[in-house]
A and B are shown apart, each in its own frame.
Chain A
Amino acid sequence: MAIQLPIFMDYHSTTPVDPRVLEEMIPYFTQKFGNAASRSHAFGWAAEEAVDYARERIAKLVGASSEKEIVFTSGATESNNVALKGVAEFYKDKGNHIITTVIEHKAVLDTCKRLEKEGFVVTYLPVGKDGRVDPAAVEAAITDKTILVSVMLANNEIGTVQPLEQIGKITRAKGVLLHTDAVQGIGKVDFDVQKMNVDLASITAHKMYGPKGVGALYVRRSKPRVRIVAQMDGGGHERGMRSGTLNVPSIVGFGKAAEIMTTEGKADNARILQLRERLRNKLMSALEECFINGSMEHRLPGNLNISFAFVEGEAMMMAIKDVAVSSGSACTSASLEPSYVLRALGVGDELAHSSIRFGLGRFNTEEEVDYVAELVIAKVKHLRDMSPLYEMHKEGIDLKSVAWVAH
């Protein structure tokens, strides 16, 4: 089969909608277009029924005991905002302390910063070189003022999976709520809100072959019953937790995407893992001075984050412009700061600038992996040939001994 260019290998950023998902969505645009909140006619009933079916499918994927524990939102950024702000506001008389990690997504970190301005105290736990938080550190950070712990299931840059089950045991024993940003990990690694004692979980459809613009927040209803203060006022949809007319077609698609994850996820992940390993082995055996960022053992099957020393990430992305990947280099961000996640792992700035994130997914093929591997190997060599750092390295100069002038 001929390779179709460009190749998408950035599945952590988003995913294409699975054709089966789209197929289920289509009737809800033009025929079954009712408002799920219209309780008095057939159009509304059809929409409500479809929404409830999606709720059941999503509840099953996360391991919820009731579909009533699923609250639809506009996406995971909103879910994270509602979870943290909603819990903080409701439980503020109980305590003002929140614990999270330094490698969370900005939707969690910036929400925490906002809460700090409002008087809450936030502990940002460090991670080890492997990108994982130590459950003992979570336990040690909990005080009698702690109301919430928020730890992501899997990281979006380095794909490392957090020891959520161990953390859940601690938070449950201490009577502290546990929220997880499960966006990257859901359907890809083991996740079960019961087994892991998770009280709130943020997920989004577009990272799992569903449409953009729809997400959900799992909110536990019993043992304990979690209460949140709504952050969006209006018609009182979603049992008062999130007002706003439901995005029925997207919710239908989200439900189908969740169902596919539940039934096919295991096989899908095994295949993706095999592709990832194929890519890793090819790159690592052909190129010297490459470093994998984050734990290989506790990692999303589709994630490979490599620093190709002496080659700048954005130049690399430009050189392989027919392949969509992403980089932790500052040059790819508006802030001109290299990835805070890689920094948190203790990866030096120079290697952070050299990092490339490959995100493999459902529609990648072995042929694509082989093409990408060959292209990356050739371009790394090419860019190293024009890198003064590589030349100095080859001459035996210790780059750390050079008196660089920062600019």
Chain B
Amino acid sequence: MAYSDKVIEHAENPRNVGTLDKDDPNVGTGLVGAPACGDVMRLQIKVGDDGVIQDAKFKTFGCGSAIASSSLATEWIKGKKVEEAEAIRNVDIVNELNLPPVKIHCSVLAEDAIKSAIADYRAKQAAKRGAAE
């Protein structure tokens, strides 16, 4: 299968590969996918007190399109407010990377990873507030 130039570019030079401290209350971690299905994404966000995503990191086990989708996702959400990041849809990723139909699930996984990281962050924040009260 021929890849789009953008997929190749992201896969060869992935942005924001790495790990944030998952125990930090300001860090949300999303782990989606399954090894048996051939792709697992872990996406992490670090959110400032102003609700802006200061940093985002990912690690992905998966094909080039999966790596590119997660790399692009981290690039997009950095500097955005959590609510804005939440609004990113998989079709946006499909369009940006020109993913073929057989690779659309990679973009779905990236959207799920963002949502899952945000949910984890909110749960931690709620727990923190609960503990403070």
Contact = CB atoms under 8 A, between A and B. Distances in A.
A and B co-occur in one complex = yes
Contact of B61 (A310, A334, A405, A406): A310
Residue in B8, B17, B62, B102 with the greatest tally of chain A CB atoms within 10 Å: B62
Interface in B49-101: 59-64, 66-67
B63 A399 contact: no
A354 B41 CA distance: 16
A331 B3 CA distance: 13
A387 interface: yes
B11 A315 contact: yes
Interface of B: 1, 3, 8, 11, 14, 17, 19, 31-42, 59-64, 66-67, 102, 105, 108-109
Interface string A365-398: 0000000000000000000011111110000000
Contacts of B34: 404-407
A407 B33 contact: yes
Interface stretch (A13-21, A101-109, A263-271, A345-353): A345-353
A314 B14 CA distance: 16
Contact of A315 (B37, B41, B42, B67): B67
B61 A388 contact: yes
B29 to A, nearest CB: 10
Contact of A404 (B1, B40, B64): B40
A312 B66 contact: yes
A312 B8 CA distance: 16
Interface residues of A, number: 30
Contacts of B64: 314-315, 318
Contact of A329 (B8, B17, B63): B63
A338 interface: yes
A331 B63 contact: yes
Contact of B37 (A387, A391, A399, A406): A406
7 contacts: A315-B64, A315-B67, A329-B63, A349-B38, A388-B40, A404-B36, A406-B37
Contacts of A350: 35-36, 38
Interface of A: 310-312, 314-315, 318-319, 329-332, 334, 336, 338, 348-350, 353, 385-391, 399, 404-407
Nearest to B7: A318
Given A314-B64, A330-B38, A405 B32 contact: yes
Given A385-B17, A407-B105, A311 B35 contact: no
A390 B34 CA distance: 14
Given A329-B38, A407-B109, A387 B102 contact: no
Contacts of A407: 32-34, 37, 105, 108-109
A353 B63 CA distance: 10
Q: Which 9 A-B pairs have the closest CB atoms?
A: A404-B34, A350-B35, A349-B36, A388-B42, A314-B63, A353-B38, A331-B63, A388-B59, A318-B64
B60 A387 contact: yes
Residue in B11, B37, B41 with the greatest tally of chain A CB atoms within 10 Å: B37
Given A318-B11, A334-B102, A388 B60 contact: yes
Given A338-B38, A386-B14, A389-B40, A312 B33 contact: no
